[in-house]
Amino acid sequence: MAETVLSMARSLVGNAITKAGEAAAAEISLLIGVNKEIC
């Protein structure tokens, strides 16, 4: 039982990190695009 909970927690954390990384990459690309338009 504990192993199942641990594996579920690991996959949830992994998904959260992946989504956060994708969101950060999207925001950075947006910021770079805005900087190019301003300059």
Mean pLDDT, rounded, of the chain: 93
Retrieve residue 19's tokens.
Answer: 């989504």
pLDDT at 6: 95
Residue 27: pLDDT band by 50, 70, 90 thresholds?
very high
d(CA 12, CA 16): 6
Residue 39: pLDDT band by 50, 70, 90 thresholds?
confident
Residue 18: pLDDT band by 50, 70, 90 thresholds?
very high
d(CA 21, CA 5): 24
pLDDT(20) > 90: yes
